Structure 1
Amino acid sequence: MIDRQREQRVSDAFVAVADILVSDFDIIDLLQTLVEVSVTVLDVEAGGILLADDDGTLQLVASTSEQAKLVEVMQLSAGAGPCVDCFEAGQLVVVDDIAAQRDHWPRFSDEALSQGFASVFATPMRLRGEILGAMNLFRTRAGSPTTEDALLAQALTDVATIGILHERTIRDSTILAEQLQRALDTRVLIEQAKGVLAIVGPYTMDEAFTAMRDHARTHDLALRDVAQGVADRSLIGLFSISADHERRDTPR
């Protein structure tokens, strides 16, 4: 029996990713959308994406929760983990029981388990042998993804990867490399801005990112510019006003 609701969610997921792929699209927005819709349609609880910088070092660029981000950061600091292996091999990596793999990735395993994750699988951002990064998808219970979920995760990742690499066909490859590096730099700025909103407003770190992205989309601004405005306090008043409206509109 076909799950019509899941079918609709899958369709919506591809539309959401494709909708970002317009002229001068924001890579951070694209990758954040990719990981968010992947968690929505797949049997997972959280996800994160690592992108390679100019030196080939993986950097965190998107995550669905602070929990997933913590695991990714630990994975990077250890230089080992399923997402790193996925990137290096360019192939799907499945860990159906993180606890059982502790000897292989001790630091990653300890951090993942402490955050409540029991299994994970990673899909590469690749096209014809070129690998840009990888996406990690976490579950709070042990077990492997279904073949359907693994293929769907790869298909969603492929759409985003093709979109990024398509830029190379219409732009100089050096410019694309600069865009990817700028995306990584933007992520650092976004983290700073999230911290500012979390301190001055009634936002969690996750809500702070959503608020900035919504503002950028509504006002046709670059996410980087919004984050810069929050970080230097020039836009902070707008978010305080928005938060006040939300509090007044919330039923008590």
Structure 2
Amino acid sequence: MIGMARERRLAEIFVEVADSLVEDFDVIDLLQRLSTRCVELLDVSAAGILLVDAHGELQIIAASDEHTRLLELFAVQHDQGPCVECCRTGTSRTNIDLTRPETITGWPRFTARARETGYVATHAIPLRLRHRVVGALNLFQTTPHRLGDDDIALAQALADVATIAILQQRTLERSHVENSQLQNALTSRILIEQVKGVLAERWETSVDDAFAAFRSYARARHLRLSDLATQIISGGFDTSTIPAPVPEGSGEQLG
């Protein structure tokens, strides 16, 4: 995406985000959309947003898609990988060649998993709250083209928007509220992971398709993903009311 077309699309996306930042907005859904927009705007193959939990480890909060192998790749970074170093230093790690011997030596499990998944380059952009890093935006490429300075600046801008979405501007000065919001976001993600498994088992489908059906149902009815997930896990919601995903090549829904 180049020139005026990208500038126009970027303006639309920031308006979309601004419109979403209302009281009691769905932070998980907004971050998932931001991850998807990163792929669209930056010409990368995948994107994910990770948060530092109460134990100082990185946990995935949103991804450009919910494919299991990609989520597992993000999960590897709880103890090694560019996002770990990005959060420790507070600086971006960009245009990392995953085929270079020094990269493989430095992060053996991470690079092995990334290359198995088809990625050859990666980037880690900090989610910063003043001088504190609360997480990272992780980007992956299946082709070795470099991201230029303008693209890196845009990635940082999107990471900053993600930070604002997580913490909300009106509470940035209150550390106890900030910590609570970080934990709430991570707890919501865990509930959604559980629901994906429940629905995938019910429908005998992939967790990716289960998530897509769950998210579509919630958005069509203006429900927060975390609220719907809580109802399902507690047994207070009849999952048969959610339309099952349609298998490829079929015009009928699963029973």
TM range (shorter): 0.7 to 0.9
Q: Does the 8 Å contact 1:16/1:33 carry over to 2?
A: no
Per the alignment, residue 173 of structure 1 pairs with 175
**Structure 2 vs 1, CA of residues 12 and 68 (structure 1 numbering), >3 Å: closer, same or farther?**
farther
| Corresponding letter in the other structure for 1:6 | R
Counterpart of 1:186?
188
SS of equivalent residue, structure 1 residue 99: coil
- Structure 1 runs of 4+ aligned residues shifted over 4 Å read 246-250
Counterpart-to-counterpart distance in 2, 1:203 and 1:9:
34
TM-score normalised according to structure 1 size: 0.86
1:58 offset after TM fit, Å?
A: 1.5
- Are the equivalent residues in 2 in contact too, given 1:50–1:133 (CA < 8 A)? yes
Q: Which residue of 1 aligns with 2:230?
A: 228
Aligned twin of 1:48 = 48
**Deviation of the 1:135 alpha carbon:** 0.7
Q: CA deviation at 1:230?
A: 3.5
Q: Deviations over 1:20-78 (max 9, x none)?
A: 211122322232222111111111010111101223221111112323212111222xx
| Structure 2 gap ranges (5+) | none
* One-letter identity of the residue aligned with 2:63: S
5 Å-filtered alignment, 1:134-153, equals 134-153=136-155
Q: Contact 2:87/2:126 (CA < 8 Å) preserved in 1? A: yes
Counterpart of 2:240 in structure 1 is: 237
**Aligned-residue offset at 1:138:** 0.3
For 1:157, the equivalent position in structure 2 comes to 159
Instruction: Tell me by how many angstroms 1:123 deviates.
Output: 0.7
- Distance apart, 1:160 and its partner CA: 2.4
Q: Measured at CA, do residues 80 and 95 of structure 1 come closer, stay the same or move farther in structure 2, by a change above 3 Å?
A: farther
Question: d(CA) in 2 for partners of 1:71 and 1:102?
Answer: 15
Identity, in percent, stands at: 40
Q: Quick one: which of 104, 107, 112 aligns to 2:106?
A: 104
One-letter code aligned to 1:145: L
TM-score with structure 2 setting the length? 0.85
Q: Is the 8 A contact 1:125 1:134 kept in 2?
A: yes
8 A contact 2:50–2:60 mirrored in 1 = yes
SS of 1:102's equivalent in the other structure is helix
Distance 1:136 1:199, change over 3 A: same
Where do 5+ consecutive residues of structure 1 fail to align?
A: none
The answer to whether the Cα contact below 8 Å between 1:58 and 1:133 also exists between their aligned partners in 2 is yes
1:1-252 aligned within 5 A: 3-65=3-65, 66=67, 67-76=69-78, 79-100=79-100, 101-163=103-165, 164-169=167-172, 172-201=174-203, 203-232=205-234, 234-239=237-242, 241=243, 243=245, 248=251
Q: CA RMSD in A?
A: 2.5
Check conservation: 1:121, 1:145, Cα contact below 8 A.
no
Structure 1 CA distance for aligned equivalents of residues 18 and 227 of structure 2: 23
Contact 2:213/2:245 (<8 A) preserved: no
| Aligned pairs, number | 245
Deviation at 1:109, TM superposition (A): 0.3
